[in-house]
Amino acid sequence: MTSSTTSAPLRETQVNAGAEFDSSEGGLALPAHFGDAAREYTAARQSSALLDRSAFGRLRITGADGLDLLNRLSTNKLIDLQPGHGAGTVLTTNKGRIIDLLVVANLGEELLVITSPGTQDKVVEWIDLYTFGEDIAVEDATQSAALLSVVGPQAAEVLGDAVAGLDLFDSTDVELGSRPLRVIRTDALGIAGYDLVVPAEHAANVWLDLADRGAVPIGELAAETVRVEQGVPRFGRELGEDYNPLEAGLLPFISFDKGCYIGQEVVVRLNTYRKVQKRLMGIVLDEEMPDHDALVEANGGQVGFLTSVVDSPAMGRPLALAFVRTAHAEAGLAVEVPSGSRAVSGVTLELPASAGTE
Amino acid sequence: MTPLTISISEKAARKAREFAEKSEHEEFGLRVGVKGGGCSGLTYTLSIDADSRPEDKVIEENGIKLFIDKKSYVFLAGTILEYSDGLNGKGFVFNNPNAKTVCGCGTSFSV
């Protein structure tokens, strides 16, 4: 699948604004940058930025049993979610491995589920597999609307009073250019961020409107840099069936008192008996970026592996996300990352790093 | 070879009838099924139902009708529904030959 028909007008608008396309996610080509990734990064860090997240899958779930079923299939407590509220939650296998990290928003008349890019088919199949007599209908709504995200410390000001005070994963309606739109606070890059679900036919106009209000269009390069600096895991890098939610730092999305869900026994046992083998942390590197999946060594032995690497303006150096064995997973550990015939030196740290981001 | 049916022991059938009488059903069947959830992926469901639904498989044994929806039947074929009483009794017990793994408390399974 190349860029979808529904995103074509938006793509044209982005091209007119200087977008360069060289990355692809979930079948949609997304802008890599708009000519100046450094300026785009600064906008996300210091003011407000406009990010196209349309590659992330979106499911519409209707029927009386939607929350109950999702509650039985995932890690967080969803059963009491009132309209206007939402939660992050992890679909796990019966071995406690990550199928996907989801945002579930109760929009009142329906549930909106945001999946990772390209995982929506798998998520729908998983829900179908465990649907027996429940009153539930799941529809893939990814193609019918764009997902535009306004991120950064001034993001709320771009969207107006309606979003002021909106808690993480809560949703409300905003009016943009006399169009009512649903906005959900997702903090997708680990900084304040609001996702707007925009019907495809309005996506280009809303995108232009948000840019007019001062949100600086940013591409994947700047977004990826902020994501890694904030320590936010991404599907295919830090999320997937190779990992469990505790390893991937998803503790805030796990309820330990909600009762059974698929994978619960394993997740609870790992946590109770401190059997988590590795965990996600940051590594600041001294020089050029090694491969994003390079091994990490300390004192001559392997202690982990990299999963993502960016050139971090906040650190003034390359910054990696890495899974580090629990026994070594403490900030300040000197490590080496073999890169070709050399080894790049680095130091572990907890992310997000509060120092250095000013 | 697992017989492709679902059976209910004499004791389990008697207990089911007792529950049904308490709930004042005259004509009834025991609805047996599975649903998603539990630590291992699937959990058993049991309820008293006045009548079967068009898509149900209906099995009669020991004087009791079992109603099983088609999708649940796939996961339950070969199961013997028994009843374990006494101080350490577990109540209704599903002996399901399809269950490859069972969670610690025994109420959920995967195939």
Residue A266 sits at the chain B interface (C-beta within 8 Å): yes
What does pTM read for this prediction?
A: 0.92
Say if residues A337 and A283 touch (Cβ distance below 8 Å). Answer: yes
Q: What local confidence, expressed as pLDDT, does residue A77 receive?
A: 98
Nearest C-alpha neighbor of A261 from the set A87, A134, A90, A71: A71
Pairing between β-strand A28-33 and β-strand A49-52 as defined by DSSP bridges: unpaired
pLDDT in tens, A194-241: 999 999 999 999 999 999 999 999 999 999 999 999 999 999 999 999
Buried b (16+ CB within 10 A) or exposed e, A199-230: ebebbbbbbbbbbeeebbbbbbbbbbbbbbbb
A39, containing H or E segment: helix A37-46
Q: What local confidence, expressed as pLDDT, does residue A15 receive?
A: 92
Q: Which residues of chain A have pLDDT under 50?
A: 1-6, 355-358
Testing the interface with B: which of A69, A72, A270 to mutate, by most B Cβ within 10 A? Answer: A72
Q: What local confidence, expressed as pLDDT, does residue A357 receive?
A: 40
Can you read off the two tokens belonging to residue A34?
């708009």
Q: What local confidence, expressed as pLDDT, does residue B39 receive?
A: 86
Q: What local confidence, expressed as pLDDT, does residue A27 receive?
A: 54
Can you read off the two tokens belonging to residue B45?
């469901």
Q: What local confidence, expressed as pLDDT, does residue A353 receive?
A: 81
Share of chain A above pLDDT 90, in %: 86
Share of chain B above pLDDT 70, in %: 96
Q: Which residues in chain A touch residue B104, judged by CB atoms under 8 angstroms apart?
A: 265
Q: What local confidence, expressed as pLDDT, does residue A178 receive?
A: 80
Say which residue, B103 or A65, is predicted with more confidence: A65
Q: Which residues in chain B touch residue A263, judged by CB atoms under 8 angstroms apart?
A: 39
Phi, psi dihedral angles at A129 (to 5 degrees): -55, -35
Considering only CB atoms, B110 lies closest to which of A94, A260, A261, namely: A94
Considering only CB atoms, A260 lies closest to which of B37, B71, B72, namely: B37
CA dist., res. B18 & res. B36, Å (int): 28
Q: What local confidence, expressed as pLDDT, does residue A7 receive?
A: 67
Q: What local confidence, expressed as pLDDT, does residue B20 receive?
A: 84
Query: Residue A48: which residues within 8 A CB-CB, separation 6 or more?
Result: A150, A151, A152, A153, A154, A155, A157, A158, A214, A215, A216
pLDDT in tens, A300-318: 899 999 999 999 999 999 9
| Mean pLDDT calculated for residue range B26-46 | 90
A62, containing H or E segment: strand A56-62
Q: What local confidence, expressed as pLDDT, does residue A1 receive?
A: 40
Distance from CA of A144 to the nearest CA of B (A): 29
pLDDT-wise least confident of A96-110, A179-193, B26-40, B95-109: B95-109
User: Which B residues, 21 through 40, put their C-beta within 8 Å of a C-beta on chain A?
Assistant: 33-40
Helix (H, G, I), strand (E, B) or coil at A76: coil
Residue B5 sits at the chain A interface (C-beta within 8 Å): no
Tell me the pLDDT band of B100, cut-offs 50, 70 and 90: confident
